[in-house]
Structure 1
Amino acid sequence: MAILEIKKAGDPVLKQVAVPVERLTKWHRQLLDDMAETMYAANGVGLAAPQVGRSLRIVVIDVEDANGLIELVNPIITMRDGSEVGSEGCLSVPQVYGDVERAARVTVEYTDRRSRRRTLTAEGLLARCIQHECDHLDGRLFIDIAVSLRKEEAKE
């Protein structure tokens, strides 16, 4: 496994619409492993492939709940319900946080690392994270849709 470089706001890959994965290969599974390792090393709760310079529709999420690590390949949000505003940050936009309106509950369909189709319904932080990471796959950053932004200094 390897820790990958996280691209920062301004990098063109973060504004591209990511390409679907046609067929999961050993290379893609290694990318999933490397993305998870990178996310954990950066103390993040989600990471999308464009954030590590790969314009692919791949996401890893771990909000430290009963689901553990979730790997989403070609995720599609099929249901959005309710609305809530919450604070978000992003590994690609260090030290910037903002309030973003998101659906309170979502259902996402995706392929797992074993090429099986899955469906997951989520609420709370997991729902917010799924929406945030899926935005990355469409070339959108949270700072593009935040209702307010604030800068915070790095904590020691």
Structure 2
Amino acid sequence: MSIRPIRVVGDPVLRTPCDPIGEITDGVRGLVQDLIDTVDDEGRAGVAANQIGVSLRAFSWNLEDHGIGCILNPVIVELSEETQDGDEGCLSVPELWFPRTRSAYARCVGTDVDGNEIELAGDGITARLIQHEVGHLDGALYIDGLERSVKKQALRQIRERL
């Protein structure tokens, strides 16, 4: 399999909610391998399937505390009321970082490539990643949830780069 190119803001696949994965076929197994290969590149923490042009509900992660993995049909089942603030970036909005508030803790469940139920949970960067990647699968970008004045600035900077 291979490292796939990342789709960037403006590509309609990023704004389309992804379809659930039904049967785990050879095509799905290939997608999982491509997601793992693509996230296993320097400076990458997570990659959603639509970021590589595939409108299916799957994302991969590369986190120090959780290693490298992939989850199919993830559903966020828990978010803390406590929040965290911090700059957030995205491979699909290259080289731009903006302050974004997220829940401090998140937990999602889904399946692995063998159909076994798995969970990804944590605080800090793990919580941010879960919310960010599931957002992608829902057709959202992290800039959608920015504070109004910051979002205005972000959209201006994105337009300047296109």
TM-score in same-fold range (> 0.5) = yes
User: Separation in 2 of the partners of 1:42 and 1:28?
Assistant: 24
Correspondence for 1:45? 45
Distance in 1 of aligned mates of 2:38 and 2:119: 25
Distance apart, 1:42 and its partner CA: 5.5
Provide, for residues 90-113 of structure 1, a one-character-per-residue CA deviation record: whole Å limited to 9, x for no partner: 111101111111111111111111
Find the aligned partners of 1:142 and 1:84 in 2 and give their Cα distance: 15
- Cα deviation digits, residues 75-129 of structure 1 (max 9, x gap): 0001110211111111111011111111111111111111011233311101110
Cα distance in 2 for residues equivalent to 1:12 and 1:139? 9
Equivalent residue number for residue 76 of structure 1: 75
Figure out how many residues of one structure are paired with residues of the other and give that number.
Answer: 150
Give distance in 1, aligned partners of 2:51 and 2:69.
Answer: 17
For 2:62 and 2:4, the matched residues in 1 are separated by: 17
Structure 1 unaligned runs (5+)?
152-156
TM-score by length of 1: 0.90
TM-score scaled to structure 2, two decimals?
0.87
Mapped contact 1:42–1:91 kept (Cα < 8 A): no
SS at match of 1:14: helix
1:18 aligns with 2:18: yes
Alpha-carbon distance in structure 2 between the residues aligned to 1:42 and 1:6? 14
Structural mapping, 1:92-131, within 5 Å: 92-131=92-131
